Amino acid sequence: MVTSARRAVLSLLLAAAVALGGARAEERFITVASTTSTQDSGLFEYLLPIFTKKTGIAVHVVAVGTGQAIKIGQQGDADVLFVHDRAGEEKFVAEGYGVKREPLMYNDFILVGPEADPAHVRGDKDAVDSLRKIAAGQAAFVSRGDDSGTNRMELRLWKQAGIDVKAASGGWYKSLGQGMGPTLNTAAAMDAYTLADRATWNKFANKQHLALLVEGDRRLFNQYGVILVNPARFPHVKAADGQAFIDWLISPEGQAAIAGYRINGEPAFFPDHDQPGA
Amino acid sequence: MQTILAAFDSALQLILRLDPGLIEIVLLSLRVSLLAVALAGVIGLPLGAAVALARFPGRRFTAILLNSLMGLPPVVVGLVVYLLLSRSGPLGVLGLLFTPTAMILAQVVIVTPIVASLTRQVIEDLWAEYREQLLSLGCGPLRAIPALLWDGRFSLVTALLAGFGRASAEVGAIMIVGGNIDHVTRMMTTAIALETSKGDLALALGLGIILIVLSLGVNGAAYLIRDLTGGRR
Amino acid sequence: MTAVRAASQSASILPLRLEKLGYAAGGEMLIEAIDVELAAGPRTVILGPNGAGKSLLLRLCHGLLRPTAGHVRWRGDGALLRRRQAMVFQRPVMLRRSAAGNIAFALRLRGIPRRVRQAKIAETLARTGLSALAHLPARVLSGGEQQRLALARAWALEPEVLFLDEPTASLDPAATRAVEALVNDIHRSGTKVVMTTHDLAQARRLADEILFLNHGRLIEAGPAERFFARPATPEAAAFLKGELMW
């Protein structure tokens, strides 16, 4: 090989190595395990820069299903847990994985479905009743089926309606094992009903013929909690910075920031740290 | 059709604007996948050559095993690497989870069998062709490895490119061990998955187009290097 | 010329003795009971019809195959044995590098230092008429040029014995003549030549002594002149007449 060509190749490779090397300066950060629906709502893109600007602490969010987020917390792979499954959260603390559960905010779920609404649930005030109608008419319904907070709420409602969805699974009821976004994609493609959180729905860009049909039933309220992963159990947890994050979120400033987040002009989350029974 | 047209428009906008978010994701994706392929090459090329040439009991089985490992489901690799790197796992002290390093590791595990397996086949075929002459010159199989690797370089570059294709298209493993953290471990493929799940299909497809163009770029560069190093037969 | 061989001037590996040499594969005796001595000097041509076992015999002598019966006995010890021999095959095997690079590869294997290597390569290419092609990729050379390059590579090693397995079988007449001329040059420079061929005319041109093989057995061995003028066996006579042999 001609020497000059060889030199050119080597310089090219060296330059590439330098460009890609990109050593990262040591960054001060915490790891937060949260859910895909929270991320898909866009809340973090809005909220976190405010916190980082104030404290200089970056927040790395790992967004997965609620079940997986809690598991990440149990493994000690995150500093803070930020999910919406009260039962799961309380168990997390009770079993010693978390320090204390702080109620944070709520958003609500809605029932969406085909514009044509074959089960006639539009405008219902009783969500459980709506589900009964959907089951009776065997209208197509898709479920996240991923053990997420959304999924757990959905299954609680079916239970209250007295419907055994396991038996119906594969027929009019389809369990997908996916996040909120993909589930909405499937519902849109199949013209099916599904339970969604309002924030993800508002931001969702592929609605096709789906429409918001049922809202407002108190049973559809989705409570968020935030928990510091227990440093006594996992010594490497960034307890000080993690607590700083939680303290900010529940402070008047943090709660106002949450309330300030809008999707298409509508508030998406309702801060309720100081409300009793949250 | 609408979405596809919107996708091209979307891709073009991002590129023309030199969107900083896009550049960040592209650089990270290239860094992770190219490093993974380089490491897979460092391990896989000599490994494949050794399996091709060394005589040892269970050699046939090793070859079959290597071939089968090419079909390892990436998401399973991701899960295993996650459990290894988790704070509760054996390598937890390293604190590598949810970092680009973890993604590189997972991709190395996925790509090495591909490189090793293809190398084994190339070296085996070359040795069959060169064996008598090399033995006559006093060059035994193990001593021939560097010469064979160099002689098979065109086929081996293709093997590395196949590895790169696998690495850059991968999404399951890096999602689990990287966490798809914004500005930290978000790569092209996980960004596409995210935008899809947000329903922004045009943007997702646009990113996909950019990913394909990147792949074309890497393959093009490889052929350029090949030509510069005396690429004629 | 002496740099490579200087160290081992005294240790000649010839004569080569084949003692009751046999080779079996797949349950068949492909080479049977061959007894012969190959001494330094004459150009030895192993002649015979296709399938006679000529190539096998060459490989047994060169050590590429192990005999299943009998012995291949060189003079001297094992360490120098391979280094004093070289072989050229019917189809030249070239690495994907330049012509000069191929010769360099062989010399490097022998531990020849760089400066000596460079001189040797230049010298050998000049003697084989390939200097102009030194930096071309070996694989773009014609069949005849590649075979001459293979001979150059072998010659650069200054072997005491050069084995050639049907070196011109795939070449056109012009290339064949060039290769034969080279073989003679190498012989004149002091190397023992042992070559197989099924081409009678070529054997007549090149051989000083003939080993005639048929069905894996050594039928006749002796000076070429005598063999061609008065073959001692009916098989040899038939072969010389060009009759088919089973």
Closest Cβ opposite residue A179 in set B86, B179, B197 = B197
For A145: left if phi > 0, alpha if psi spans -120 to 50, otherwise beta; the answer is left
Query: CB count, 10 Å around CB of A24?
Result: 8
Determine, yes or no, domain membership for B192: yes
Q: What is the pLDDT of residue A12?
A: 62
Closest Cβ opposite residue C109 in set B132, B137, B232 = B137
Q: What is the pLDDT of residue A17?
A: 56
Report yes or no: A45 at the B interface, CB cutoff 8 Å.
Answer: yes
Q: Convert the pLDDT of each residue in B165-201 to its tens digit.
A: 999 999 999 999 999 998 899 999 999 988 888 778 8
* Domain C2-241: assigned CATH number: 3.40.50.300
Which pTM does this prediction carry?
0.82
Residues on chain A touching B199 (C-beta within 8 angstroms): 181, 184-185, 203-207
Report yes or no: B179 at the A interface, CB cutoff 8 Å.
Answer: yes
Using CA atoms, how far apart are residues B20 and B22, in angstroms rounded to an integer? 5
Residues on chain A touching B194 (C-beta within 8 angstroms): 39
* Closest residue, chain C, to B152 (C-alpha): C96
Interface partners of chain C (CB pairs < 8 Å, 3 or more) are B
Q: What is the pLDDT of residue A26?
A: 66
Look at the domain A108-220 and name its fold.
Answer: D-Maltodextrin-Binding Protein; domain 2 (3.40.190)
Q: Convert the pLDDT of each residue in C75-105 to its tens digit.
A: 877 777 888 999 999 999 999 999 999 999 9
* Closest residue, chain C, to B126 (C-alpha): C95
Q: Where are the domains of chain C?
A: 2-241
Q: Do B233 and C140 touch (CB under 8 A)?
A: yes
- β-strand pairing of C44-47 with C209-214: parallel
Angle between helices C173-188 and C143-156 (to 10 degrees): 10
Q: What is the pLDDT of residue B233?
A: 47
Determine, yes or no, domain membership for B233: no
* Closest residue, chain B, to A3 (C-alpha): B229
Closest Cβ opposite residue A61 in set B30, B181, B198 = B181
Closest Cβ opposite residue A63 in set B31, B92, B180 = B180
Query: What DSSP string describes B167-217?
Result: HHH--HHHHHHHTT-TTTT--HHHHHHHHHHTT-HHHHHHHHHHHHHHHHH
* Closest residue, chain B, to C157 (C-alpha): B137
Phi, psi of A260 (to 5 degrees): -75, -5
Determine, yes or no, domain membership for B34: yes
Q: How many domains does chain B have?
A: 1
Of C39 and B2, which is predicted with more confidence? C39
CATH code (residue B104): 1.10.3720.10
Q: What is the pLDDT of residue A1?
A: 45
Report yes or no: A184 at the B interface, CB cutoff 8 Å.
Answer: yes
Question: Of A148, A198, A273, which is closest to residue A41 (Cα–Cα)?
Answer: A198
Q: What is the pLDDT of residue B161?
A: 93
Closest Cβ opposite residue C140 in set B132, B151, B232 = B232
Q: What is the pLDDT of residue A40?
A: 83
Closest Cβ opposite residue B181 in set A16, A60, A207 = A60
Q: What is the pLDDT of residue B3?
A: 74
**Mutate which of B125, B136, B149, B157 to disrupt the C interface (most C C-beta within 10 Å)?**
B136
Please name the residues in contact with B136: beta carbons below 8 A apart, sequence gap of 6 or more.
Answer: C62, C64, C85, C86, C87
Q: Convert the pLDDT of each residue in C210-221 to its tens digit.
A: 999 999 999 999
Q: What is the pLDDT of residue B185?
A: 93
Of C1 and A242, which is predicted with more confidence? A242
pLDDT for C156 beyond 70: yes
Using CA atoms, how far apart are residues C41 and C49, in angstroms rounded to an integer? 25
Of A66 and B135, which is predicted with more confidence? B135
Determine, yes or no, domain membership for B75: yes
**Mutate which of A14, A59, A62, A186 to disrupt the B interface (most B C-beta within 10 Å)?**
A62
Q: Do A207 and B98 touch (CB under 8 A)?
A: no
* Below-70 pLDDT ranges, chain A: 1-26, 277-278
pLDDT for B2 beyond 80: no
Q: Where are the domains of chain A?
A: 29-107+223-271, 108-220
Domain of residue B158 covers 2-228
Q: Convert the pLDDT of each residue in C173-187 to its tens digit.
A: 999 999 999 999 999
Q: What residue type is B75 in one-letter code?
A: V
Report yes or no: B233 at the C interface, CB cutoff 8 Å.
Answer: yes
Q: Do B199 and A206 touch (CB under 8 A)?
A: yes
**Mutate which of A41, A60, A233 to disrupt the B interface (most B C-beta within 10 Å)?**
A60
pLDDT for C245 beyond 80: no
Confidence of residue B127 (pLDDT cuts 50, 70, 90): very high
Q: What is the pLDDT of residue C36?
A: 95
Q: What are the tokens at B92?
A: 């937890």
* Closest residue, chain A, to B191 (C-alpha): A40
Query: What DSSP string describes C11-49?
Result: ---PPEEEEEEEEEETTEEEEEEEEEEE-SSS-EEEE--
Report yes or no: A176 at the B interface, CB cutoff 8 Å.
Answer: no
Segment B107-115 mean pLDDT:
96
- β-strand pairing of A29-35 with A98-114: unpaired
Q: What are the tokens at A208?
A: 């096709």
Q: What is the pLDDT of residue C92?
A: 95
* Closest residue, chain B, to C79 (C-alpha): B138
Look at the domain A29-107+223-271 and name its fold.
Answer: D-Maltodextrin-Binding Protein; domain 2 (3.40.190)
Report yes or no: C20 at the B interface, CB cutoff 8 Å.
Answer: no
Question: CA dihedral in degrees (B110, B112, B115, B121; nearest 10)?
Answer: -110
Helix (H) or strand (E) holding C178: helix C173-188
Distance from CA of C140 to the nearest CA of B (A): 7
